[in-house]
């Protein structure tokens, strides 16, 4: 049995009753169709609905329920009735967000600052002090990352730079961070000198102990992790002491300062022994190894190529882009003036389609969706730009190169969108150039997961291979002319 639609008169009556009883969303639902049809009375009643939204939002604001207040405010703004109280409520709620960011900086929680700023950006809030605190938080996170890979002098310089720009904010949290940084640096300097001596003398028990000490101070120190793996391998036959999870309890610097974010837990990574330290090893939690799609295929992984660079590799057909915050479930997080869920790029038989309703330009022209071609310059928001490349004519895989100075939470050189394979090699028809390789190296996906193919001999985690091999993350692949490491994506990405 089909219910007859309510007459306009009865609809108006129900809407008025809903407003009187504090149910503006119900009145909104009833009146919206009539307003769209041109009923002037519906338009007048919607002003009452907006006022009811604001009244309820003000009540939530007084009860310290900012999220409920924002929900009602945005609903009232959507009606665009010109009620001055709407602007007043927005100002009050924005002040709360700004105060929350300032408190997070004082408490040494830069990731929380980025989360709050991301929410405010999504709500179309623009303030100079928010821009300043966002930049401070981004630099703070990068200082933490520098310390984690052993670049303590750079981290301390970054802290000094942050301090000069925090003239309007208390430096309590920054002082705590700097003090802990100094202590970790002192511990690192002593340990790294002893580690080098032990490794050169092939004293692997001492090397293992000093490597653990270095990693305790700098969890992403690439050389220490490499020596630690060599020490474990050397000690395994004699003592059975090889224990790949031995460093899992190491707590990096930011975890001490910002304990509420479990994104900063680390486990050991493998790195090619022939590496030159050009790229930092990434951070990841042990469970990241299992965060994969069907058939054990990871959705994303990190590719570190010694002497070349580092890349975030995305395997999904749909990839999302957005603000780098602690709680945004996005594939490519960006330190940029973009929304938390800003854009999506999809791969199909026709190519790559990028879509966004929050600010998207392709080659300078505004779009809500656009089919990309090789060489297109894509702008997200006002200034975050990347070049779209498909360098291999026979492969649908693509490479994104950030060209605007913006960055991801980890220092990578680009993003690779992997379809069936990635080609690494010496020529121009490659996704990544390996200048010293004589022939191509191919990373491919199959029903068994990830694999590598190379016309020659190579090793995977020091085990000899020829022609091809399956890869289980994390893994190190090395040959005479190249070496690279693939790792799970950590929680910070």
Report the alpha-carbon distance of residue 31 to residue 46 in Å, rounded: 7
Burial of 84 (0-12, 13-18, 19+ CB in 10 A): exposed
- Note whether 338 and 349 are within 8 A (CB): no
Task: Give the pLDDT score at 236.
Answer: 67
Task: Give the pLDDT score at 6.
Answer: 67
Residue 270's SS3 state is coil
- pLDDT for 278 beyond 50: no
Domain boundary among 264, 287, 303: 264
Task: Give the pLDDT score at 168.
Answer: 67
Per-residue pLDDT tens over the stretch 110-132? 888 888 888 888 888 888 888 89
Looking at the structure, tell me whether residues 303 and 255 fall in a common domain.
no
Task: Give the pLDDT score at 435.
Answer: 86
Give the model's confidence band at 240: pLDDT under 50 very low, under 70 low, under 90 confident, else very high. very low
Looking at the structure, tell me whether residues 225 and 279 fall in a common domain.
no
Higher pLDDT, 169 or 117: 117
Task: Give the pLDDT score at 328.
Answer: 67
Report the alpha-carbon distance of residue 342 to residue 354 in Å, rounded: 11
Looking at the structure, tell me whether residues 445 and 472 fall in a common domain.
yes
- pLDDT for 257 beyond 70: no
Chain mean pLDDT for the chain: 83
Contact partners, residue 348, CB within 8 Å, separation at least 6: 317
Between 217-226, 415-424, 429-438, the lowest mean confidence (pLDDT) is in 217-226
Is 60 a domain residue?
yes
Per-residue pLDDT tens over the stretch 61-85? 999 999 999 999 999 999 998 889 9
What is the rounded average pLDDT of the residues 207-211? 92
Task: Give the pLDDT score at 397.
Answer: 96
Of the CA atoms within 13 Å of residue 61, those in its CB half-sphere come to: 22
Domain boundary among 264, 290, 325: 264
Domain boundary among 233, 264, 295: 264
Whether the CA torsion 109, 111, 112, 113 is positive or negative: it is: positive
Looking at the structure, tell me whether residues 259 and 284 fall in a common domain.
no
What is the rounded average pLDDT of the residues 13-33? 90
Beta pairing partners, 343: 321
Looking at the structure, tell me whether residues 302 and 425 fall in a common domain.
yes
Q: How many CB atoms lie within 10 A of CB 402?
A: 19
Looking at the structure, tell me whether residues 260 and 278 fall in a common domain.
no
Q: Which domain holds residue 74?
A: 8-82
What is the rounded average pLDDT of the residues 160-167? 87
Looking at the structure, tell me whether residues 490 and 471 fall in a common domain.
yes
What is the rounded average pLDDT of the residues 384-395? 93
Beta pairing partners, 76: none
Structurally, how many domains does the chain consist of? 3
Is 53 a domain residue?
yes
**156: phi then psi, degrees, rounded to nearest 5:** -65, -35
Task: Give the pLDDT score at 265.
Answer: 32
Is 134 a domain residue?
no
Is 208 a domain residue?
yes
- Note whether 447 and 472 are within 8 A (CB): no
- Note whether 285 and 248 are within 8 A (CB): no
Per-residue pLDDT tens over the stretch 315-343? 999 999 998 877 667 899 998 888 888 99
- pLDDT for 207 beyond 60: yes
- pLDDT for 293 beyond 70: no
Q: Label the pairing between strands 377-380 and 441-446.
A: unpaired
Task: Give the pLDDT score at 369.
Answer: 93
Give the model's confidence band at 492: pLDDT under 50 very low, under 70 low, under 90 confident, else very high. low
Is 223 a domain residue?
yes
Check residue 287 and report its DSSP letter: G
Task: Give the pLDDT score at 391.
Answer: 94
What is the rounded average pLDDT of the residues 160-187? 88
- Note whether 449 and 475 are within 8 A (CB): no
Looking at the structure, tell me whether residues 183 and 164 fall in a common domain.
yes
Residue 148's SS3 state is helix
Looking at the structure, tell me whether residues 228 and 283 fall in a common domain.
no
Higher pLDDT, 158 or 261: 158
Token look-up 């933490």 returns 144
Looking at the structure, tell me whether residues 218 and 298 fall in a common domain.
no
Report the alpha-carbon distance of residue 16 to residue 276 in Å, rounded: 72
Looking at the structure, tell me whether residues 70 and 213 fall in a common domain.
no
Concatenated DSSP letters of 33-46: HHHHTT-HHHHHHH
What is the rounded average pLDDT of the residues 47-68? 93
Looking at the structure, tell me whether residues 14 and 75 fall in a common domain.
yes
Is 309 a domain residue?
yes
Task: Give the pLDDT score at 3.
Answer: 47
Beta pairing partners, 485: 304, 476
Is 433 a domain residue?
yes
- Note whether 76 and 57 are within 8 A (CB): yes
Is 74 a domain residue?
yes
CATH number at residue 451: 2.60.200.20
Burial of 343 (0-12, 13-18, 19+ CB in 10 A): buried
- pLDDT for 248 beyond 90: no
- Note whether 220 and 281 are within 8 A (CB): yes
Please give the structure tokens belonging to residue 85: 């109280």
From first CA to last CA, the distance across the chain in angstroms is 52
Per-residue pLDDT tens over the stretch 136-159? 998 998 898 889 889 999 999 999
Give start and end residues of each alpha helix (H) in 63-151: 66-79, 84-106, 110-122, 128-148
Higher pLDDT, 249 or 394: 394
pTM of the model: 0.58
């Amino acid at each position: 049995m089909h219910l007859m639609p309510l007459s306009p008169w009865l609809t108006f009556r129900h809407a008025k009753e809903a407003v009187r009883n504090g149910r503006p969303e119900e009145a909104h639902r009833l009146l919206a169709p009539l307003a769209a049809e041109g009923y002037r009375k519906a338009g007048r009643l919607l002003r009452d609905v907006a006022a009811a939204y604001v009244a309820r939002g003000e009540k939530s604001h007084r009860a310290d329920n900012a999220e409920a207040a924002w929900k009602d405010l945005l609903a009232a703004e959507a009606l665009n009735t010109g009620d001055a109280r709407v602007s007043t409520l927005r100002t009050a709620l924005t002040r709360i967000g700004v105060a929350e960011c300032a408190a997070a900086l004082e408490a040494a929680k830069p990731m929380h600052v980025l989360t709050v700023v991301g929410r405010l950006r999504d709500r179309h809030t623009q303030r100079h002090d928010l821009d300043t605190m966002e930049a401070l938080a981004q630099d703070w996170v990068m200082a933490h990352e520098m310390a984690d890979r052993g670049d303590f002098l750079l981290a301390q310089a970054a802290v000094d730079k942050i301090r000069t720009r925090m003239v309007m904010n208390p430096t309590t949290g920054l002082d705590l961070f700097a003090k802990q940084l100094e202590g970790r640096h002192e511990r690192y300097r002593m340990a790294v000198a002893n580690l080098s001596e032990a490794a050169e003398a092939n004293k692997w028990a001492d090397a293992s102990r000093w490597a653990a000490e270095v990693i305790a101070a700098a969890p992403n120190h690439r050389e220490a992790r490499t020596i630690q793996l060599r020490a474990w391998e050397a000690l395994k036959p004699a003592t059975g002491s090889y224990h790949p999870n031995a460093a899992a309890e190491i707590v990096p610097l930011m975890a001490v300062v910002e304990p509420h974010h479990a994104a900063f837990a680390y486990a050991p990574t493998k790195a090619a022994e022939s590496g030159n330290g050009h790229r930092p090893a990434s951070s990841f939690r042990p469970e990241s190894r299992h965060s994969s799609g069907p058939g054990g295929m990871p959705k994303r992984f990190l590719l570190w190529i010694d002497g070349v660079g580092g890349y975030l590799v995305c395997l999904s057909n749909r990839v999302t882009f957005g603000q780098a915050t602690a709680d945004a479930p996005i594939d490519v997080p960006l330190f940029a003036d973009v929304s938390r869920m800003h854009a999506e790029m999809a791969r199909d038989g026709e190519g790559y389609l990028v879509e966004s309703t929050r600010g998207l330009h392709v080659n300078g022209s505004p779009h809500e969706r656009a089919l990309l071609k090789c060489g297109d310059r894509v702008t997200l928001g006002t200034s975050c730009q990347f070049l779209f490349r498909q360098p291999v004519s026979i492969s649908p895989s693509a490479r994104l190169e950030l060209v605007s100075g913006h960055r991801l939470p980890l220092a990578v050189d680009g993003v690779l969108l992997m379809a069936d394979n990635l080609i690494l090699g010496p020529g121009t028809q490659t996704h990544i150039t390996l200048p010293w390789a004589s022939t191509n190296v191919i990373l491919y996906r199959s029903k068994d997961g990830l694999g590598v193919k190379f016309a020659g001999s190579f090793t995977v985690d020091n085990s000899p291979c020829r022609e091809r091999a399956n890869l289980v993350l994390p893994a190190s692949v090395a040959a005479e002319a190249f070496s690279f490491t693939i790792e799970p994506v950590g929680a910070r990405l």
